[in-house]
């Protein structure tokens, strides 16, 4: 009786076929930077929008891709109500404040729930990375959704992602998910540029700093996983107000203390890649 042939593993198949799985860079872009947290409600979209604008302020050509399919925030934060144009082959990104933008929120009513299964999410992400006419960008900033699911896997496994910035509040309940996100990126071979402590404290009228969500948790997590701690962003009502009005703080008031923090982050990103 003939012996059963051993099953081929992935490495053997690649070797025999002479092909290996290559990540696909997003056409028209040099570097893809993900803004992630794996936890919702920590200010990730605010960070993604303002860091994109800060990079633009220091003479980088920037795109902003809203990859949060189920809860897109970028249309509101940038005050965009237009639909993207198409030539039948590719979508044209919408230009706002001199950055190129794309979001599922541009294609659907903002109050329409996205009741999609995993394959539909993957298809949407591939449309935004392969069928949008991004033009000569130094950086494309990707606002990632919460969690460690289909969107994160698609970007990490199928698309050339050059780095990720992890945003979190310092409270333990947020950091539990953040730690899962760090492990995911490490396992998938995505470089983590560092961690940001967002909404780290509030300065009252008395001049005292109030640590509403706890203290030091993000920095400790960075040290635990041997990642760089990029710094803190305090709570400031102007940040939320400007985002709600469709003109984020970096654009509305470049001299604001929060804007200067974002500009320092942007300079670090630029010096790392360009």
For 207-210, which contacts have Cβ atoms below 8 Å and span 24 or more sequence positions? 209/234
* pTM (2 d.p.): 0.87
Q: Is 66 exposed, middle or buried (0-12, 13-18, 19+ CB in 10 A)?
A: buried
Question: Is 172 inside a domain boundary?
Answer: yes
Closest CA to 255 of 1, 93, 37, 54: 54
Please say if the pLDDT value at position 147 is more than 50: yes
Question: Is 2 inside a domain boundary?
Answer: no
CA distance linking residue 158 with residue 136, whole number of Å:
21
Domain enclosing residue 165, as ranges: 23-273
- Name which residue leads in pLDDT, 233 or 148: 233
**Domain containing residue 180: CATH number:** 3.40.50.300
Question: Is 242 inside a domain boundary?
Answer: yes
Strands 29-36 and 94-96: unpaired
**Element (H or E) spanning 52, and its range?**
helix 44-57
Question: Is 9 inside a domain boundary?
Answer: no
CA distances to 65, 169, 218, 241 from 106, rounded to whole Å, are 11, 29, 33, 22
Question: Is 134 inside a domain boundary?
Answer: yes
CA distance linking residue 40 with residue 62, whole number of Å:
24
Residue 78 in tokens: 């940038």
Tell me if 101 sits within 8 A of 93, measured CB to CB.
yes
State how many domains the chain has. Answer: 1
Helix axis angle for 257-273 and 44-57, nearest 10°, is 70
Residue 196's Cβ-side half-sphere holds a number of Cα atoms within 13 Å equal to 24
Over range 241-266, report the average pLDDT: 96
CA distance linking residue 97 with residue 129, whole number of Å:
21
Question: Is 246 inside a domain boundary?
Answer: yes
Residue 12 in tokens: 């053997």
Tell me if 54 sits within 8 A of 266, measured CB to CB.
yes
Please say if the pLDDT value at position 39 is more than 90: no
Question: Is 11 inside a domain boundary?
Answer: no
- pLDDT level of residue 148 (50, 70, 90 thresholds): low
Task: Give the model confidence (pLDDT) of 45-67 as tens digits.
Answer: 999 999 999 999 999 999 999 98
Task: Give the model confidence (pLDDT) of 63-112 as tens digits.
Answer: 999 988 777 899 999 999 999 999 989 999 999 999 999 998 888 766 55
Question: Is 227 inside a domain boundary?
Answer: yes
CA distance linking residue 155 with residue 174, whole number of Å:
22
| Residue 7 C-alpha from the chain's centroid | 39
**Element (H or E) spanning 223, and its range?**
helix 217-224
Residue 97 is classified by DSSP as T
Compute the radius of gyration of the chain from its Cα atoms.
20
């Amino acid at each position: 009786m003939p012996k059963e042939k051993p099953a081929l593993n992935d490495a053997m198949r690649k070797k025999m076929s002479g092909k290996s799985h290559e990540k696909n860079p997003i056409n028209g872009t040099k570097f893809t930077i993900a803004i992630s947290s794996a936890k919702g409600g920590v200010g990730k979209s605010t960070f993604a929008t303002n860091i994109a604008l800060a990079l633009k302020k220091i003479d980088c050509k920037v795109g902003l891709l809203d990859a949060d399919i189920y809860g897109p925030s970028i249309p509101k934060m940038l005050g965009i109500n237009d639909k993207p144009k198409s030539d039948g082959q590719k979508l044209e990104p919408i230009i706002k404040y001199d950055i190129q933008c794309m979001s599922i929120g541009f294609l659907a009513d903002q109050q329409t729930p996205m009741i999609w299964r995993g394959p539909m999410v993957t298809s949407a992400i591939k449309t935004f990375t392969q069928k949008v006419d991004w033009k000569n960008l130094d950086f494309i900033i990707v606002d990632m959704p919460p969690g460690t699911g289909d969107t994160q896997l698609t970007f990490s496994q199928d698309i050339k992602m050059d780095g990720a910035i992890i945003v979190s509040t310092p409270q333990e309940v947020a950091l539990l998910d953040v730690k899962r996100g760090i492990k995911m990126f490490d396992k998938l071979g995505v470089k983590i540029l560092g961690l940001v402590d967002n909404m780290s404290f509030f300065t009252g009228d008395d001049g005292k700093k109030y640590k509403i969500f706890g203290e030091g948790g993000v920095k400790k997590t960075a040290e635990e996983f041997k990642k760089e701690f990029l710094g803190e962003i305090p709570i400031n009502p102007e940040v939320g107000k400007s985002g709600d009005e469709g003109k984020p703080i970096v654009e509305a008031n470049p001299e604001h203390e929060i804007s200067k923090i974002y500009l320092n982050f942007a300079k670090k990103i630029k010096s790392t890649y360009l």
